[in-house]
Amino acid sequence: MADTNVAVKEKESIIRFGKKERKLLTDPLDSNNPITVQVLGICSALAVTTLVNKAFVMAIAVVFVCMFANLFTSLLRNNIPKQVRMIVQLVIIAFLVTVVELTLKAINYPIYKELSVFIGLIITNCIIMGRLEAFAMANDPWKSTLDGIGNGLGYGIILIIVAAIREVFGKGSFFGYKLIGNTDEFLLNLGSWYAPNNLMVLFPSAMFVIGVLIWIHRSWNKDLIDVS
């Protein structure tokens, strides 16, 4: 009877989606965002945000890798020797990144050529390694999966926002569609008032945009003012 009660409690904990579980999804979107609060993953945010489609693909890749890396690490956490836990975590991430690379290569080869180096660098992404070490190694698979999804989405949303700003003001386009400029081929012909500024697609502009987003985020959420 006791064993039955334990099994029922374990099942309930697996399928539970209460306040704590929702917080695992929502916190990384706002008060614990990987980029604007924790200031992690900045390198890729600088490199792949010149175009929205590239940022979108990278965001999907990170959500996939972060979610399943958390899940697999949590499933194996009681069987991983402490001495080699980081090596095991890297192997799990590398396996998932390889799956992403091969899938992207088969589905969209041009994007794969542009992102291949940066997709590979997901292996060393401090956001993913940090979640495995700080959360997945100490929590059950269900919560770890939610944590992975939340942090992947929090990272991906900022990536897409930065890319949208840089592409619109740097190239005058959005997802490759001509949007603003000073010729008839653009959707909004602004004449001499604004022409796409190529400086926005350079790496320093990404740092500037991210800095402004951090400032806006912390101005909007007063609880983050003293967060370093």
pLDDT digits (tens, 9 = 90+) for 92-132: 999 999 999 999 999 989 888 888 788 888 887 888 988 99
Does the residue 180 lie in any domain?
no
Q: Across all residues in the chain, what is the average pLDDT? A: 82
**Which three-class secondary structure state does DSSP give residue 181?**
strand
Neighbours of 101 (CB within 10 A): 17
130 or 44, which is more confident? 130
- Residue burial 48-70, b: 16+ Cβ < 10 Å; e: rest: bbbbbbbbbbbbebbbbbbbbbb
Does the residue 214 lie in any domain?
no
Distance between CA 198 and CA 207 in Å, rounded?
Answer: 15
Domain, as residue range, for 55: 39-164
pLDDT of amino acid 67: 94
Catalogue the long-range contacts made by 84-91 (C-beta closer than 8 Å, 24 or more residues apart). Answer: 85/133, 85/137, 86/129, 86/133, 89/129, 89/132, 89/133, 90/123, 90/129
Does the residue 7 lie in any domain?
no
CA distances for 94 relative to 35, 136, 144, 209, angstroms:
22, 17, 18, 30
pLDDT band at 203 (very low <50, low <70, confident <90, very high): confident
Does the residue 123 lie in any domain?
yes
pLDDT of amino acid 184: 58
Distance between CA 71 and CA 76 in Å, rounded?
Answer: 9
Q: Is the pLDDT of residue 11 over 60?
A: no
The closest alpha carbon to 158, from 68, 40, 69, 22, belongs to: 40
Q: What angle do CA 137, 139, 140 make, to 5 degrees?
A: 115
Does the residue 206 lie in any domain?
no
Q: Output DSSP code: residue 173.
A: E
Q: Is the pLDDT of residue 14 over 70?
A: no
pLDDT band at 7 (very low <50, low <70, confident <90, very high): very low
Q: Which residues 6+ apart lie within 8 Å of 28 measured at CB?
A: 34, 147, 150, 151, 153, 154, 155
Percentage of the chain modeled with pLDDT above 70: 84
Does the residue 85 lie in any domain?
yes
Does the residue 150 lie in any domain?
yes
pLDDT of amino acid 148: 93
The answer to whether the CB of 226 falls within 8 A of the CB of 217 is no
**Which three-class secondary structure state does DSSP give residue 178?**
strand
The answer to whether the CB of 44 falls within 8 A of the CB of 118 is yes
Does the residue 6 lie in any domain?
no
Q: Output DSSP code: residue 189.
A: E
pLDDT of amino acid 186: 59
H or E segment at 15?
A: helix 2-15
Distance between CA 63 and CA 153 in Å, rounded?
Answer: 6
Domain count, the chain: 1
